[in-house]
Amino acid sequence: MLLGVPKEIKTDEYRVGLTPAAVRELVHHGHNVLVEQGAGLGAGLDDAAYEAAGATIAADAEEVFARGEMIVKVKEPQPVECRRLRPGQLLFTYLHLAPDPEQTRLLLASGATAIAYETVTDAAGRLPLLAPMSEVAGRMSVQAAAHALEKTQGGRGVLMGGVPGVRPARVVVLGGGVVGTNAARLAIGLGAEVVVIDRSLGRLKELDALYGPAMRTLYATRETIEEAVTTADAVIGAVLVPGAAAPKLIDRPLLGRMQPGAVLVDVAIDQGGCFETSRATTHRQPTYEVDGIVHYCVANMPGGVARTSTFALNNATLPFVLALADKGAARALAEDPHLMNGLNVHAGQLTIEAVAEAQNLTAVTPADALSRAA
């Protein structure tokens, strides 16, 4: 199979779909890899490294999309990239379709097969291809909050870890999954007072066993969220409903009850955000204020640490890339129900019910989509 790796074009996105080491594995399996010139430079991976691994360097994205049978990316395809896709072509990347009707429409019109990293599952029901970026984003969220809390950034002027005789920042983490756990871990390490709120009592028990008195855990109700948020210096939005739009946990009236200069970091912004006042921002302009509350809503947080993120992502995605390349999409999907869960679009058919509900569309099951197109 000929795999294509284009340079990411989303604003401030520096990750790349395949590392030279991943390319070498694919070449060893008998595949060809076409990498756009300069695709890996943002992660410190030059063209010479890709050529040494066996890749061919393409002059531009048009060539990559025109020749590639399978396109491996990081972020969701931008409109110009969607229009380069063709029937029968395979796209493997993050999609986050639920809050993005335009991307959904363009992917359906392309006739391509689109498999989303964020909906691939494992035997335990986890999301193994989302997890590494959730780990990165969770840890970065606390770094971002610490910086945004500085007075010069519009924050309350609170040091995350405090100093002797002065209390530390109070950090509330909404969601105890991968993002929330990593955010809490880093916040604890910085010396903050940490509260994690989740609706899974089992998960709260696990976190309590891991961190003990260094972390407070609260069961998620409207009352507990409101009480915690209104006394917080920083709130990390770390909720996830796989494939669906994120629930809005802080509305505009609640925002008005928060402490002036408090910080909201919305890690769920790729799925529409979990705060009513959230809107996507970039690394160049990461924050804005609403009612005196600083919002950090960068939609590709891990792109800011592109080298770490690229290697972490490839560690997780490479086995699936190899399976798709070795077996072809139809066979690989049929043999692996967890990879099948990643199928979002196939031959003009939507296969994710949560996206259909969010956009008032009709979805079919992945199995039906494959059989109809056969």
197 is an annotated ligand-binding site residue: no
Q: Is 279 annotated as a binding residue?
A: yes
Instruction: Indicate if 336 belongs to the active site.
Output: no
Q: ∠335-340-346 over CA atoms, to 5°? A: 115
Confirm whether residue 1 is marked as ligand binding: no
Residue 55 annotated in ligand binding = no
If we measure between CA atoms, which residue out of 351, 355, 335 comes closest to residue 343? 351
Residue 301, marked binder: yes
Catalytic residue among 96, 295, 338, 346: 96
Sheet containing strand 263-266, edge to edge, reads 215-219, 193-198, 170-174, 234-237, 263-266, 293-296, 287-290
Task: Choose the catalytic residue: 270, 295, 338, 346.
Answer: 270
- From residue 20, alpha-carbon distances to 34, 203, 302, 309, 311 in Å are 12, 38, 20, 15, 10
**Rounded Cα distance, 81 and 96, in Å:** 15
Nearest one of 324, 371, 370, 310 to 345, comparing CA atoms:
370
To the query of whether residue 29 is one of the catalytic residues in this protein, the response is no
Q: Is 321 annotated as a binding residue?
A: no
Residue 268 assigned ligand-binding role: yes
Is 284 marked within a binding site? no
240 marked among binding-site residues = yes
Report whether 369 belongs to an annotated binding site: no
**315 has binding-site annotation:** no
Q: Is 41 annotated as a binding residue?
A: no
Q: Are strands 234-237 and 56-58 parallel, antiparallel or unpaired?
A: unpaired
Distance CA 335, CA 317 (A): 17
**Is 5 one of the annotated binding-site residues?**
no
Q: Is 73 annotated as a binding residue?
A: no
Spatial CA neighbour of 149 closest among 52, 62, 260: 260
Residues tagged in the binding site annotation for NAD(+) = 134, 198, 203, 239-240, 267-270, 279, 298-301
Residues tagged in the binding site annotation = 15, 75, 134, 198, 203, 239-240, 267-270, 279, 298-301
Catalytically active residues, by annotation: 96, 270
Residues tagged in the binding site annotation for substrate = 15, 75
